[in-house]
Structure formats: structure tokens, C-alpha cells
Amino acid sequence: MKTISLAEHSVREVNQLLHDQARELTEPHWRITDHDGRHALACGLDQAIAVDIDGHAGYYCAGMNQQATVNVHGTVGVGVAENMMSGRVHVHGNASQSAGATAHGGLLVIDGDAAARCGISMKGVDIVVGGSVGHMSAFMGQAGRLVVCGDAGEALGDSLYEARLYVRGSVESLGADCIEKEMRDEHWAELRELLAQAGFEADPADFRRYGSARQLYNFHVDNADGG
């Protein structure tokens, strides 16, 4: 394992070293220390490496991740793993707003709570949150799955497309076009699998499923004159 201290290197230097691994893999395991919560840490990775980030990280940590496994040992700022394509990002703490925003793939695990807009415009990512999520989570969620072991804030799944949402606790309110849906066998199975991947021991039987009523998919026109 290679340890880089941000007391001695800039964010630019560290990210460049990590990006260089996409061209030639020289070190599979990295550890980043002394970063004082700086932004854009370990973003834009595209190699199957493991990166451990010691302590709290700033905005857009592991943004647009591909292939890499990033573990943050602390809390993260806005937009952790935003637009992730693949790989795994695990926050061993709480996450700020827009966690996993617009992400296309991979797995984002948050041990603690996630603030507002968790999974906003998600496009295929799986997000598993050990705690609760804030308001407007999964807003316009297009694809992928959001699992919340705690509670969900206001307007969950507003203007939802095809993302599937599972919540164990209470839901303060559902957003426009988001409804509770029946849990069928395939849903129990995928939920069980997601919880296992995240390493959480919650019982799938305690969860409810929410999804799109698909009523907003097309503008409704009342052709009053029949024309």
C-alpha cells in the first residue's frame, strides 16, 4: 500500500498519480492522509484500485468513479460519488447533499445518514444508506436502486422515472408521481442482495417499496373539441 500525505502533496498531484494508474497499474492500494477535508479527492479514477481516505472529505469525493473501490473513513461533503459509472464507494460516516447524484452504475454505501437529494437523477447506480435520507431524495431518479435503512424526508422520489426505492422506516411524504408498490419475490431478492453487498444486517421484510406511478410520463391533452 502506498500512503500519500496531503500535507506534502497537492490534490492535483494525488489525483494525477491515481489517474496515471489507468494507463499503467503500478500500485493497487492507496491511502490518502492529512487532506483536511479537501474537495475533489480521488475523483475521475478509472482503474480497479483501492483507495482509503483517512478522515472527513470535502465535495465530490470519488466523483465519476470507474472501477475503483474508495473507502472514506469519515464524513463526506456534497456529491460523493456523483455520476459514478462503476466500482464501489463506501462512506464510513454521514454524507452531505446529493450523494450519488446522476450516477450510472456501481455501488455507493453510506453507513450513516445522507442529507437532501440523495440519489438525485440517479441513472443506474445502487445506493444503500444505513441511516436516513433527507428531502427530495431520488428526485427524477431514472434507474438503479436506493435502499434506506432509516427514514426518508419529504418528497421522496418526486418525478421519479424507473428507479426503485426501498425504505425501512417512515417516509415523511412522497413526491409527485411516487407511490408505494407491492413487494414481489424479485424485490425481496434484490433487496436482500443489496443489503448483503453493503454489509448491513437489516431484514428485508421490514422494508417497503416505492416507485413511479408513471402518470407524468406524457403531457395530458384534453382535446375538448375532439380534434
Partner 1 sequence: MDDHTDNWGLRESATFDRNSIREIQRAADTGIYDIRGFGAKRKVPHFDDLVFLGASMSRYPLEGYRERCGTDVVLGDRFASKPLHLDIPVTIAGMSFGSLSANAKEALGRGASAVGTSTTTGDGGMTDEERGQSRTLVYQYLPSRYGMNPKHLRMADAIEVVLGQGAKPGGGGMLMGQKISDRVAEMRTLPKGVDQRSACRHPDWTGPDDLAIKIEELREITDWEKPVFIKIGASRTYFDVKLAVKAGADVVVLDGMQGGTAATQEVFIEHVGIPTLAAIPQAVQALQEMDMHRKVQLIVSGGIRNGADVAKAIALGADAVSIGTAALIALGCNHPRWEEDYKRIGSAAGFYDDYHAGQDPAGISTQDPELAARLDPELAGRRLANYLRVITLEAQTIARACGKSHVHNLEPEDLVALDMEAAAMARVPLAGTGWIPGQGGV
| CB of residue 30 to partner 1, shortest distance in Å | 16
Q: Please say whether the beta carbons of 127 and 181 come within 8 A.
A: no
**Rounded-to-integer distance, Cα 114 and Cα 130, Å:** 9
| CB of residue 214 to partner 1, shortest distance in Å | 8
| CB of residue 202 to partner 1, shortest distance in Å | 27
| CB of residue 224 to partner 1, shortest distance in Å | 6
- Give me the phi and psi of 21, to 5 degrees please: -65, -20
**Rounded-to-integer distance, Cα 125 and Cα 114, Å:** 15
Handedness of CA 184, 189, 193, 199 (dihedral sign): positive
Q: Please say whether the beta carbons of 54 and 72 come within 8 A.
A: no
Q: Which is nearer to partner 1, 23 or 201 (CB)?
A: 23
- Give me the phi and psi of 18, to 5 degrees please: -70, -40
Contacts to partner 1 by CB under 8 A? 11-12, 15-16, 19, 39-40, 43-44, 46, 58-60, 63-64, 66, 78-79, 82-83, 85, 97-98, 101-102, 104, 117, 120-121, 123-124, 139-140, 142-143, 159, 161-162, 217-225, 227
Q: Which is nearer to partner 1, 132 or 212 (CB)?
A: 212
| CB of residue 154 to partner 1, shortest distance in Å | 17
Q: Which is nearer to partner 1, 115 or 198 (CB)?
A: 115
Q: Which is nearer to partner 1, 125 or 195 (CB)?
A: 125
Which residue's C-alpha cell is 417499496?
A: 209
Q: Which is nearer to partner 1, 142 or 197 (CB)?
A: 142
**Rounded-to-integer distance, Cα 206 and Cα 90, Å:** 23
- Residue 9: CA count within 13 A, CB half-sphere: 15
